[in-house]
Amino acid sequence: MLIKIANQARNYAWGSRTLISDYFGVPATNEPMAEIWFGTHPGSPSFLSENPNETLAQHLAGRELPFLLKILAADQPLSIQAHPNSAQAKAGFEKENHLGLPISAPNRNYKDDRHKPEVIVALSDFEALCGFKPITQIDNLLEDMQTHTGVSEGLRSLAADWRDILKQPEGLQKLFSDISNRRGNFDGVAAELTTMADFDARFALAERLNLIYPGDPGVLVAMLMNHVYLEPGQALFLPAGNVHAYLSGLGVELMAASDNVLRGGLTTKHIDVAELEKVLDFTPGEIPLVQTKELTAGLFEYPCDTDDFLLYRAEPSGERLMADLNLPGEAIILCTAGEIAISTSLEERLVLRRSEAAYLSSDAKFFTISGSGTAFLATAKA
């Protein structure tokens, strides 16, 4: 089965009014266009292009795909967040069910019992926060806050206390907890951090975030995280427990089909620091850039350490044809540039232009991609 699918943009406040419309050449909605979902997730199920009254899930007799593909466009920061692993998701979901919390409750942490590993591939220049900086860098940051001549004695004292906390066993977790639980009593600290931007470029991020979320402890938490800039085509893989926040840019995002998000700051949505701490990995590490593999001319894989999905980027040209590609499972193909044609072993053929997507069933064992453009292919693992 090869069938074209579509969906409407979701208008979250952090979305962009221009990135999706300008890049894909689609009409703007006069509202922020944050995400477009391609899949069967009930939060925003795709529908058949030729029959908008029928969702893809209905067409598949109610069966859900194990992955969700998205276009994501951010003009403002998303929340500081992380996702649970499978065991944590199952336990949290059962606990909140037992407490009688409706799935739609604003203070609900777990919307389902699944984990949510994800990968983001930049289509434009893309800015993100991802994982914690090395301890030495965090300590240097706090030391500069402690010794800076332009800050108050109160901030000097706090920075000294935070440095002492950082030196303790599990110091990074304790530091994160101390800062994050100062919500409602952080205005002065955040305001002072912004004044340091005039003397130290590292504090420019604090100044920028405090303009959007004044007095939010996430203003400082963000400075404990790796600040990442992706060029088009580069990708980050975010496993369970990885603290992250997208700041700006346009990308293609693929994840397990879950809606479990635990937030810790930079948002007006529900924040549960204690629950977030339970799932966070506080091990400082390298930025998890995905090392792209070129499988053949014009076909690239984004290897991710998950059993939920595979992600490829195909770039056929008039001189190049992706012939007889084996499909390990059902797939969604999204055209992000130019025009491509998909042909299957079942003698089906479909043309996709930029912003258009198609569902491809696993009974089409082989398929080809031709034309001239760029497409992302998300598929379930065998």
Name the pLDDT band for 347 (thresholds 50, 70, 90). Answer: confident
pLDDT for the residue 323? 61
The Cβ of residue 154 has, within 10 Å, a number of other Cβ atoms equal to: 11
The answer to whether 349 is a known catalytic residue is no
pLDDT for the residue 313? 95
**Predicted TM-score of the model (pTM):** 0.94
Cβ partners under 8 Å of residue 343, min gap 6: 349, 367, 368, 370
Q: CB-hemisphere CA count at 13 Å for 6?
A: 13
pLDDT for the residue 39? 96
DSSP 319-363: TB-EEEEE-SS-EEEEEEEEEEEEEETTS-EEEEETT-EEEE-TT
pLDDT for the residue 322? 66
pLDDT for the residue 20? 97
Q: Give the whole-angstrom CA distance, residue 336 versus residue 374.
A: 6
What is the torsional sign of CA 182, 184, 188, 190?
positive
The Cβ of residue 378 has, within 10 Å, a number of other Cβ atoms equal to: 28
pLDDT for the residue 37? 97
Examine the pLDDT at 328 and tell me if it is beyond 80. Answer: no
- Which domains are seen in the chain, by residue range? 8-130+228-279 (2.60.120.10), 133-223 (no CATH), 293-379 (2.60.120.10)
Pairing of strands 262-265, 293-296: unpaired
For 135-173, write each residue's pLDDT tens digit.
Answer: 999 999 999 999 987 889 999 999 999 999 999 999 999
Examine the pLDDT at 285 and tell me if it is beyond 70. Answer: yes
Percent of the chain past pLDDT 90, that is, above it, reads: 83
112-121, 220-229, 284-293 — which is least confidently predicted?
A: 284-293
Q: CB-hemisphere CA count at 13 Å for 373?
A: 22
Name the pLDDT band for 324 (thresholds 50, 70, 90). Answer: low
Instruction: Tell me if residue 65 falls in helix, strand or coil.
Output: coil
For 71-100, write each residue's pLDDT tens digit.
Answer: 999 999 999 999 999 999 999 999 999 999
List helix spans (H) across 36-134: 56-59, 86-98
Per-residue pLDDT averaged across 97-108, rounded? 95
Examine the pLDDT at 327 and tell me if it is beyond 80. Answer: no
The Cβ of residue 105 has, within 10 Å, a number of other Cβ atoms equal to: 13
Annotated active-site residue in 263, 313, 349, 354: 263
pLDDT for the residue 300? 93
CA separation, residue 89 to residues 39, 176, 246, 271, 373 (Å): 21, 22, 22, 17, 39
